[in-house]
Amino acid sequence: MSEDRLTKLEILAAEQEKTIEELSDQIAEQWKVIERMQKALEALGERFVALEERSAPEIPVTKPPHY
């Protein structure tokens, strides 16, 4: 009886170890995707600011009329 129980526990531990490894691999892949997306977002943000600066008209610095 105890030998059968031990075998079941070993099988369960092996299955859990495999699941943990698979989840760890998935998390590692997701981090790679997140890092790529962060870099792309930063690049797009920089492009947006550059385009905004080029398209915005220069506002002259003058005193308001009430001065």
Residue 41 lies in a domain: yes
Residue 17 lies in a domain: no
Distance CA 38, CA 64 (A): 42
What amino acid occupies position 7? T
User: What are 37-54's pLDDT values in tens digits?
Assistant: 999 999 999 999 999 888
What is the domain extent for residue 32?
23-50
Q: What is the pTM of this model?
A: 0.63
Residue 31 lies in a domain: yes
Residue 12 lies in a domain: no
Number of domains composing the chain: 1
Residue 15 lies in a domain: no
- Percentage of the chain surpassing pLDDT 70? 97
Residue 13 lies in a domain: no
- What does the DSSP 8-state code read for residue 56? S
Distance CA 57, CA 40 (A): 28
Q: Phi first, then psi: what are they for 39, rounded to 5°?
A: -65, -40
